[in-house]
């Protein structure tokens, strides 16, 4: 299955839903400017250098600096205009210059100033929540692409990856073998995040106690990575040893859409308590998936599940020591860490065609980390895994 241009009807529906969310959250809004390439892709179906202007009461305009011609080939968006400078947008924008709504979570100040020196808006406000709510609800078109990513992910992690693991292989070697295989199967290689200043390269590859190593990334699994300058993927120095586990927490992309999956592999004999902890994580995943159904809120699901977790198990659950995080999972779509999180305080109502990654994990002192992660689609009957259902630890010897 090859990627196809996003249909006009799809782009129109996204823009209409965004406008409705803006009306609900920011009743006084008059104009928005979208600078981020992922958000531009969401609304136009192409990823170029430019700015998307969305007025409240007139047609949206996509101004493209480079490449205008590629945008015309890829996009069904009706109003694409070539520009050489942001100054050329001024004559097309018919509104007062009071407040413009922008992506405050990610837009560099200098970039906006280069735009606004020609436009002269007096103030800015945030469109982020309205946009996150819009993207959280997937269309049938988007679900097809996410399902394809899930198929690739399942085949790579459960069927192919065990062959790349053996005593003495390094985290970095395993990670490079795994990403090569995933790309061969159809993964598009890049791993996008929405959080400011966050980055991943495929995901976390952690052998043994690397799973408990310090990590600045907002996730439960630790990793050593290549170096202090690139704390990503895995280490060339950390080798897989007998009687230990390997954790692979990876993202898979197809046509821009992601799934997220964690698999644990074992080499040799593993203590019984490790299997017990892993089984408990699987039970928590399955309970969370059972509760994620239309009409619930993600915050209520989090609180119900956490009541199942006793104090002993909660120690080093969702991260070892200082790595502990306060969520059980997250939305996923055009980025790995899509809105909303499955966490306390998130009152977003769960709706059909939302997609979530559920990732309960447990750190074990002097041993490493076990647990599970799969990506689930919300249906009218509940949630369905898109990334496989082989939840046990996979033996590689």
Task: Please spell the DSSP secondary structure of 363-388, one letter per residue.
Answer: EETTTEEEE-BEEEEEETTEEEESS-
- In this prediction, residue 233 carries a pLDDT of 97
Tokens of 393: 């630890």
pLDDT digit string (tens) for 237-260? 999 999 999 999 999 999 999 999
**pTM as predicted:** 0.96
Quickly name the fold that domain 137-395 has. Answer: Creatine Amidinohydrolase (3.90.230)
The length of the chain in residues reads 397
Q: What pLDDT, on a 0 to 100 scale, did the predictor assign at position 389?
A: 85
User: Residue 319 is encoded by which pair of tokens?
Assistant: 């991260």
Which residues contact residue 312 at a Cβ distance below 8 angstroms, ignoring those fewer than 6 apart? none
Question: Are 8-134 and 137-395 the same fold in CATH?
Answer: no
DSSP SS3 for 320: coil
Question: What DSSP character marks residue 315?
Answer: T
Position 1 scores a pLDDT of 60
Give the start-to-end residue ranges of the domains of the chain: 8-134, 137-395
Indicate the DSSP class of residue 178.
H
The parts of the chain modelled with pLDDT lower than 50 are none
CA distance 42 to 22: 16
User: What architecture is domain 8-134?
Assistant: 3-Layer(aba) Sandwich (3.40)
Q: What is the pLDDT of residue 95?
A: 81
């Amino acid at each position: 299955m090859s990627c196809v241009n996003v249909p006009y009807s799809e782009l129109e529906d996204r823009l209409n839903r965004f406008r409705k969310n803006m009306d609900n959250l920011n009743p006084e809004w008059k104009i928005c400017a979208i600078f981020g390439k992922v958000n531009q892709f969401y609304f136009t179906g192409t990823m170029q250098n430019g700015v998307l202007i969305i007025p409240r009461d007139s047609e949206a305009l996509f101004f493209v600096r480079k490449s205008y011609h590629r945008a015309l080939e890829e996009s069904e968006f009706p109003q694409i205009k070539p520009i050489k400078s942001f100054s050329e947008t001024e004559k097309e924008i018919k509104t007062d210059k009071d407040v413009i709504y922008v992506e405050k979570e990610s837009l560099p100040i200098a970039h906006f100033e280069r735009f606004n020196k020609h436009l002269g808006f007096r103030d800015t406000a945030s469109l982020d929540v309205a946009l996150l709510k819009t993207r959280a609800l997937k269309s049938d078109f988007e679900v097809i692409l996410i399902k394809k990513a899930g198929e690739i992910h399942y085949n790579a992690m459960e069927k192919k990856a065990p062959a790349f693991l053996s005593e003495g292989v390094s985290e970095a070697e395993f990670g490079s073998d795994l990403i090569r295989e995933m790309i061969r199967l159809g993964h598009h290689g890049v791993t996008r995040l929405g959080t400011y200043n966050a980055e991943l390269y495929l995901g976390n590859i952690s052998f043994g106690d690397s799973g408990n190593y310090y990590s600045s990334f907002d996730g439960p699994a630790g990793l050593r990575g290549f170096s202090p300058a690139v704390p990503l993927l895995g280490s060339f120095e950390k080798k897989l040893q007998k009687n230990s586990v390997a954790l692979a927490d990876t993202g898979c992309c197809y046509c821009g859409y992601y799934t997220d999956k964690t698999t644990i592999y074992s080499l040799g004999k593993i203590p019984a308590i490790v299997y017990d902890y892993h089984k408990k994580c699987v039970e928590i995943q399955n309970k969370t998936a059972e509760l994620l159904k239309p009409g619930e809120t993600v915050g209520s699901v989090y609180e119900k599940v956490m009541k199942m977790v006793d104090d002993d198990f909660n120690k080093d659950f969702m991260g070892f020591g200082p790595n502990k995080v306060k969520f059980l999972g997250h939305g996923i779509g055009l980025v790995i860490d899509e809105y909303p999180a499955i966490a306390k305080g998130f009152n977003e109502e769960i709706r059909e065609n939302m997609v979530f990654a559920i990732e309960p994990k447990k750190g074990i002192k002097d041993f490493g980390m076990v647990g599970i992660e799969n990506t689930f689609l919300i249906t009218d009957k509940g949630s369905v895994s898109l990334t496989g259902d082989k939840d046990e630890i996979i033996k590689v010897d």
